[in-house]
Structure 1
Amino acid sequence: MEINKDYIWNYLKNSDLPIILYGMGDGADKVLSAFKKYGITASGVMASDDFVRGQSFHEFTVKKLSDFENEYSDFIIALCFATQLPDVMQNIFEIAKKHKVIVPSVPAFGDILFDEEFAKKNKESITSARNLLADDLSVKVFDNILEFYKTGELSLLDGITTDKDEAFSLLSLGENETYVDLGAYNGDTVDEFLHYTNGKYKFITALEPNAKNYSKLQAHCSEMKNLELWQLGAYSHNTTLCFNNKAGRNSAIVNESNTKTPVAAVDTILCGRAATYVKADVEGADFETILGMKNTLKMFKPKLNFSAYHRFEDIFRLPLLISGINPEYKIYLRHHPYIPAWDTNLYCI
């Protein structure tokens, strides 16, 4: 299968083949919006066989892959959803053996697209951030992820995908950690932390902004000691913001919503107390969250586990910000199994 090395938007615009969107929902909405911006025309929408029931998406009737195989001699599939499920990812790779599968670069949050203008504008910052990375694998992950954003080539994820055990070996968590969990969801990342500390710790502070998730977090941690829970989002300062009120992991800050949610700076929450390990999955507020923990980073240099994929600029602006606050950090970048390049995280020690 031909490897694309051009910006994905140019590649798709200049192709003579029909372009079939694979997936429905927010991801496909964002892809279609980008198509409109760049003058790209979609020819249809497909879903996995089990999900096709004659429904419509935008002006298209959703069809099976086999329907398009009967209709066209050849076509390009533009993947429009995210998954970390092994069987779904395997199915995507199997489809890619028969047809050109490409992943349009649309952000998880915000509306800034990765295109030639974006790359040129941020060239200096990209180079500076790359130079901060602590090992060869981090550099390879950095290069491949940026090239993936540019071209949408699935093969770029091969060879840079590692499991969480390898990343946590870098963090080397002990049994006397003071852990701050930002975006604690239902307690699963508290469990992850306990897994790597043999169930032992000094203290846990966990924040979760969504009311339903917070109730689950409370129930999950009801038997635990040396723990404080806050129904708050993490941010650069203490205020009240609008959240989208989505359940699951997708509770995030939006411009307009009826759900007013308090947010706070980590420095305010800790009030000068030490932290030894901070994990953050704050759905697009990662930069602001780091701004809100400057004192903690300067004074205590906790080990960090931060998502670096919610916005395209996070992969370079977060390392620059962290290093600017405390240049003693060694910064590692790892990508864990996910399509597209989600679950790409910074591990700082």
Structure 2
Amino acid sequence: MEDDISRQVFEKTVGYKVTGDYLPLFDYLETNEPNLGFFDTELFPKRRDHVYVDVGAFTGDSLLSFAMAVRGSYKEIVAFEGDKGIYKSLCDMLTYARLPHVTTVNKLLFSGAEEKEWHSIRNNQNILFDSPNLYGKAEVIFSSREAVARGPVNFMTERVYTDTLDNSLQVSPTVLKINAMGADFDILKGGRKLIRQCQPMLCLEFGVRKQDVGRLIPLIKDINPNYRFYMRVKEIYGDFKTVLYAV
């Protein structure tokens, strides 16, 4: 960790994962420009030719935050979203936002090209279930209050094919944000060549899966030892996150 704040946030985040007590992290919450999400930070490089890659783009919230952070001046945006229903909502948003030079990709990224189980809900386009994933059944994650508010929910598990970041990206990113329901570690493994060659700024939610807490930073160091690491606590669209920046 490159500064005292990062070291303290790391310590408190590990403590939270052990005890379940998130309150100590609130002392480090940064809310200068909350609409900028991951990019509300002095660490974000100021330039007008960014190539931004968003893995786990959801409905485009972080994509819009990026566009605001650079005041609309960028070279290209590539947005990956694996869930079919959410992907449709992402495309609908972009129809109205009219952002130029944006490519969307409906693909699930992972550490390899393989067949996996995908857990989601069938009517995701209407309900916008925000936790489709490759690890746990949707009915365990889905809020019962949301089910009451939104109507009947049809859970599903289907067989899907994943691919890697190295296989799927033909641009050289300057900023790479990955926030993909716990698959971040595996997605990074599938992007070794890209990250080694391009060294984009990495923006990741830290500690989504407990088993990744002690191995995420060593993985990035192994891929590219030139990275420096920082941690900040952010409120991103109402969700409190410990964000790991590698620059």
TM-score range normalised by the length of the shorter chain: 0.7 to 0.9
CA distance in 1, matches of 2:226, 2:243: 19
User: Structure 1 210/189 Cα, relative in aligned 2: closer, same or farther at 3 Å?
Assistant: same
CA distance in 2, matches of 1:255, 1:336: 26
CA distance in 2, matches of 1:167, 1:323: 24
User: Structure 1 235/198 Cα, relative in aligned 2: closer, same or farther at 3 Å?
Assistant: same
Give the counterpart letter for 1:302 in structure 2: P
2:168 to 263, 266, 269: 269
Residue 185 of structure 2 is aligned to residue 312 of structure 1: no
* Equivalent residue number for residue 168 of structure 1: 41
* Equivalent residue number for residue 201 of structure 1: 74
1:253 to 134, 139, 145: 134
Q: Does the aligned pair in 2 maintain the 1:167–1:334 contact within 8 Å?
A: no
CA distance in 2, matches of 1:239, 1:154: 36
Shift of 1:312: 1.6
State the TM-score, normalizing by the size of structure 1: 0.57
Q: Does the aligned pair in 2 maintain the 1:333–1:344 contact within 8 Å?
A: yes
User: Structure 1 290/228 Cα, relative in aligned 2: closer, same or farther at 3 Å?
Assistant: same
Q: Secondary structure of 2:135's partner?
A: coil
User: Structure 1 155/270 Cα, relative in aligned 2: closer, same or farther at 3 Å?
Assistant: closer
Q: Does the aligned pair in 2 maintain the 1:232–1:264 contact within 8 Å?
A: yes
Give the counterpart letter for 1:233 in structure 2: L
Give the counterpart letter for 1:199 in structure 2: G
Residue 54 of structure 2 is aligned to residue 181 of structure 1: yes
* Equivalent residue number for residue 330 of structure 1: 228
Shift of 1:315: 3.0
CA distance in 1, matches of 2:52, 2:69: 12
Shift of 1:342: 5.0
User: Structure 1 213/327 Cα, relative in aligned 2: closer, same or farther at 3 Å?
Assistant: same
Aligned Cα root-mean-square deviation (Å):
2.2
Shift of 1:167: 4.8
Shift of 1:277: 0.6
Unaligned runs of 5+ in 1: 1-132
User: Structure 1 191/143 Cα, relative in aligned 2: closer, same or farther at 3 Å?
Assistant: same
Q: Work out the percentage of aligned pairs sharing the same amino acid.
A: 24
User: Structure 1 163/317 Cα, relative in aligned 2: closer, same or farther at 3 Å?
Assistant: farther
Paired residues for 1:1-349 under 5 Å: 133-163=1-31, 165=33, 167-222=40-95, 223-246=98-121, 247-254=128-135, 258-271=157-170, 273-337=171-235, 343-349=241-247
Shift of 1:302: 0.3
Q: Secondary structure of 1:343's partner?
A: strand
**Cα deviation per residue 1:17-56 (whole Å; 9 max; x = unaligned)?**
xxxxxxxxxxxxxxxxxxxxxxxxxxxxxxxxxxxxxxxx
CA distance in 2, matches of 1:337, 1:278: 19
CA distance in 2, matches of 1:313, 1:140: 20
**Cα deviation per residue 1:251-270 (whole Å; 9 max; x = unaligned)?**
11137753233322111111
Q: Secondary structure of 2:222's partner?
A: helix
User: Structure 1 200/242 Cα, relative in aligned 2: closer, same or farther at 3 Å?
Assistant: same
Shift of 1:316: 2.7
